Amino acid sequence: MGSEDRRGAVRFTRDANAVSSRSIGRLFRPNASTRLHGTRYAVALAVLFALTISSFLIMRDFVVDERALDTTMSSIEELRAELATHQIAMHDLVTEMRRPDPDEIRLRGLRRALAASRDRLTADRAILVRAMQRSEVGASAWLVLSDPPYSLDNIIADMTTDARVALAESAPAPDEDLPLLADPREDGFLSITDSHASAARLASERLRAELRTEAEARKVWREQMHTWLGWATVLVLIGEAAIIFWPLLGNLGRESERADAAQNELTRLARHDVLTGLLNRASLIDAIEREIDAADPEFDRMAVLLIDLDRFKPINDTFGHAAGDAVLIEMARRIQASLRPGDVVARLGGDEFVVLLPRSGSSHEVREIGLRIKRSLGRVMEIEGHRFELGGSVGCAVWPADARDVDGLLSAADLAMYNAKRSGRDEPVFYDEKLRKAVAQVRSEEAELRRAIGENELVLHYQPMVSRDGSKLHGFEALVRWNHPTRGLIDPDGFLPTADRAGLMSQITAWVVDHACRQHAAWTAAGFAPGSMSINMTRSFLSQPDVIGQVLAIAETHAVAPSSLVLEVSERVMSEEDRTPIAPLLAMAHGAGLRIAVDEFGLGQASLIHLRRPEIDILKIDRAFVRDLASAPENAAIVGAMIELARILDKQVVIEGVETADQLALLAISDRAWVQGFLYSRPLEASAAAAFMVRLDERAKPRLRAAG
C-alpha cells in the first residue's frame, strides 16, 4: 500500500492489491470466443459492464484516499515492462530477418512472429493509454492526465513511421507494414522525432533542476504531478528515458542516491544528439580533448573531418521537418557505416557532422575515409516516395600539424570544408595556410555579392537574336551584369562563379526571370513586339522543387505567355551523367508551353542525342564554331550540317557569336537559322534594346510601304 507521511504526500511503492495491468487489460480485451456465441456474449458483456463500473468506483475510492495514483503507477509500470519486452523481442526478430542470405521458410515464420508480437504490443499500448487517462480527479485534487500534453497515438504513429523510413532501404520487402522499433536497450531516443525529443529533454532538464533542492521536491512533486505524468507518457514510449523517470516517480524525496544515479543517466543522455543518436557537440569536444591529452605530438597523428550536407536545406524547407529528420538520420547512418571501429562521429547540429579519426595514419588514409563518406552521402535516397540526391562536402584538419587544440582543429576543418563546398570538389579538402588567406578573400567577395543582390545592383542587358539579314527580330537573351558602385559594370564571368559557390545562383536566376518578364511585359505594353525572352538556367536553379511552377507563376504575374519564354540550358548540364537527369523536368516545362534551348550546342560529346529529344525546341550553336572558322574552315560544313539536321528534326537554330561579315559569308547560313552576335548587336541596356526595335521597325516600314 502507498503509505502517507505527516504532510499527506504520497510515496509510491508497489501495491499488492492494486488493479493490475492485466485486469485493466481484460476490461478492454474481451476473449475472442465470447464474441461467437450470443448468450455467452451477452453475459460477458454484462460482466464486463459490471467490472468496468466497479473498477471505476474502486478507482474513485483510491483517488479519494490518494492511492489511486499508486495503483495507476504500478499497473503502468508493469505494462511498461511488458512493452519493453515486446520491443526487445521485436527488435531481435527484425535483426534476425535482416541477416544476409535469408531462408525463405524461416523468414516467413519470423514475419508471422513479428506480426503477432506487433499486435500484442499495439493492444498493450492501447491499454496503457487508457489506463493513464482513466485516473480521475479526486476530492483532494489529484489531477492525473486528463489532457496529456502529447497525444500517445501520435507518438506511436511517429515512431512507427520513423522506424519504417529508417529501415526502408535495408529491410526485406515485408508482406505487410511492420513497425520496427529501436532497441530500448541501446538508445531509446533513436526512433522519435524532434518535438518528442525536445519534450523529453525539457522534462529531463526540469527534473535535474528540481532535484537539487530536496525540501522543495515534495511540494513540486505535488504541483507538477499532472505535467510530469504528461511527460512520463512521452518518456515511457521512448525507452531509456523512462527508465530514468521511473525510479524518480517511485522514490522522490527519499532515495537521493537513486536520484544521483538518475542524474548521471541524464548527463549521459545529454551527451547524445537525440535525433541521430550520435554524440553531440559537447561530447565530441570532450572526446577530442581526451585524445589530444593522450597523444604524443612527436609520433601520433589524428584527423578531424567536418562534413556539411549539400542541398539539404531545400528538403527541409519544402518537404517539412519530418522528411528533413529522416534524411539526417539516414545520413548519420551512412557516415557511421563508412568508418572504422574506434573512429568517432558526432552531429554538431543542423546538417553538420564531425568525424574524429584518433589514429589517422597517413593523409592518404584520411583521404580514403573522406572519399568513402562522400560517396555514401551522394547515393540517391528515397523518403516518403520522394527521391533525394544530396551530397556532402568534407574538410579535413590534422593534429598537430594544422592546430594543437580543439577549437583550432575544428575551425581549420571548417575552413577546409568551406573550401570544399565552394569549389564543389569531388574530394575531401585538407586545410593549409594558403587556404586560410584564399578563403578570407572569397568570403569577403561573397559578402559583397550578397549585399549587391540586396541593394539591387544587378542589371539585365538584352542581346537580340535576328534573322541572317538582320531584318527580323526573333527575340532577346537576358544577360546579367553587376553594376558595382566602385568597380563599374562587371561581366557575368566575373561574379557568377562566386555566386554559384555561395549558393546564390538560384536567387539570382529567380531575379533574372522576374526582371526579364517584367521588361518583356513593359515592352509589349509600349507597343513593341519583342519576340521571345531567353533566360539562362543553372543546375542549382533547376534542382529546386517545383521550379517550373515558380517560373510559370512569375510569368503569370507579369502576364507573359509561357511560349514567349525560352529556358536556355547548357548541353553540359543536360549531359551530366552522375546527376539527376534534367530531361523529365524540361519535358514538363515544354509541356507547360515554355520553350527549351540547348546552350553551347555542339561542344559536348553527346550533342546528337539531344537532337532526338522532343522537349528541345532550339539549338544554340556555340560561339566556338564561328570563332575558329578561319583556322578550321571545316567548321562551316559542320554548322551547315547541324542546321540541316535541325531542319529535318523540326528544331530552330541560333548561331551564336557572329562578329564579322566575313564569318557570315563563310557560314553560308540558310534563311531558317537565326543569328546572335556583335555583328548585329552587343547586349544592350533596356532603353537601347527598345531603340534597336524602333530601328528595325523603321527599316521594315519603307519595305512595307513599297510592298503596299
When asked if residue 465 is in the footprint of ligand C2E (CB under 6 A), the reply is no
Count of residues touching ligand C2E (by CB under 6 A):
21
By CB under 5 A, residue 187 contacts Ca ion: no
Do 393 and 379 meet the contact criterion of CB atoms below 8 Å apart?
A: no
Residues 591/557, Cβ–Cβ less than 8 Å: no
**Judged by CB, which is closer to ligand C2E: 463, or 564?**
463
Q: Is 21 near ligand C2E (CB under 6 A)?
A: no
Of the ranges 113-121, 171-179, 366-374, 491-499, which one interacts with ligand C2E (CB under 6 A)? Answer: 491-499
CB of 567 to Ca ion, least distance (A): 10
Q: Does 673 bind ligand C2E (CB under 6 A)?
A: no
Tell me how far, at minimum, the Cβ of 672 lies from ligand C2E, in Å: 20
463 binds, among Ca ion, ligand C2E, none (CB under 5 to 8 A by kind): ligand C2E
Using rule CB under 5 A, residue 599 touches Ca ion: yes
- Determine which residue in the list 122, 538, 544, 580 makes contact with ligand C2E, applying CB under 6 A: 538
Q: Which stretch binds ligand C2E (CB under 6 A): 246-254, 423-431, 438-446, 673-681?
A: 673-681
Question: Which x/- pattern, by CB under 6 A, does the window 606-645 give for ligand C2E?
Answer: -----------------x----------------------
Quickly count: other Cβ atoms within 10 Å of residue 502's Cβ: 18
List beta partners, residue 4.
Answer: 10
Nearer to ligand C2E, 370 or 657 (CB): 657
The answer to whether 663 contacts ligand C2E (rule: CB under 6 A) is no
Judged by CB under 6 A, does residue 493 bind ligand C2E?
A: yes
Distances (CA, A) of 235 to 69, 155, 232: 18, 11, 5
Amino acid at 271: R
Asked if 568 interacts with Ca ion (CB under 5 A), we say yes
Distance CA 192, CA 242 (A): 14
Residue whose cell numbers read 586560410: 436
Given 491, 546, 576, 628, the residue binding ligand C2E (CB under 6 A): 491
Least CB distance from residue 536 to Ca ion, whole Å?
A: 5
Note whether 571 binds Ca ion by CB under 5 A: no
Check: CB of residue 459 under 8 Å from CB of residue 452.
no
**Please, which residues have CB within 8 angstroms of residue 585's CB and are 6 or more apart in sequence?**
542, 547, 548
Side chain identity, residue 152: L
Q: Which does 509 bind (CB under 5 to 8 A by kind): Ca ion, ligand C2E, none?
A: ligand C2E
HEC profile of 523-587: HHHCCCCCCEEEEECCHHHHCCCCHHHHHHHHHHHCCCCHHHEEEEEEHHHHHCCCCCCCHHHHH
* 487 phi and psi angles, rounded to 5 deg: -90, -5
- Choose the binding region for Ca ion from 72-80, 172-180, 495-503, 561-569 (rule: CB under 5 A): 561-569
Binder of ligand C2E out of 408, 492, 503, 562 (CB under 6 A): 492
Contact call for residue 414 and Ca ion (CB under 5 A):
no
Interface with ligand C2E includes 156 (CB under 6 A)? no
Decide if residue 536 touches Ca ion (CB under 5 A): yes
> Which one of ligand C2E, Ca ion, none interacts with residue 289, CB within 5 to 8 A by kind?
none
Hey, what amino acid is at 554? I
Q: Is 28 near ligand C2E (CB under 6 A)?
A: no
Set of cell numbers at residue 260: 544521483
Amino acid at 611: L
Closest CA to 281 of 291, 290, 292, 270: 270
What letters, b where the CB count within 10 A reaches 16 and e where it falls short, cover 389-422?
Answer: ebbbbbbbbbbbebbeebeebbbbbbbbbbbbbb
Q: Which residues bind ligand C2E (CB under 6 A)?
A: 463, 478-480, 491-493, 496, 509, 512, 536, 538, 599, 623, 657-659, 676-678, 683
Q: Which residues bind Ca ion (CB under 5 A)?
A: 536, 568, 599
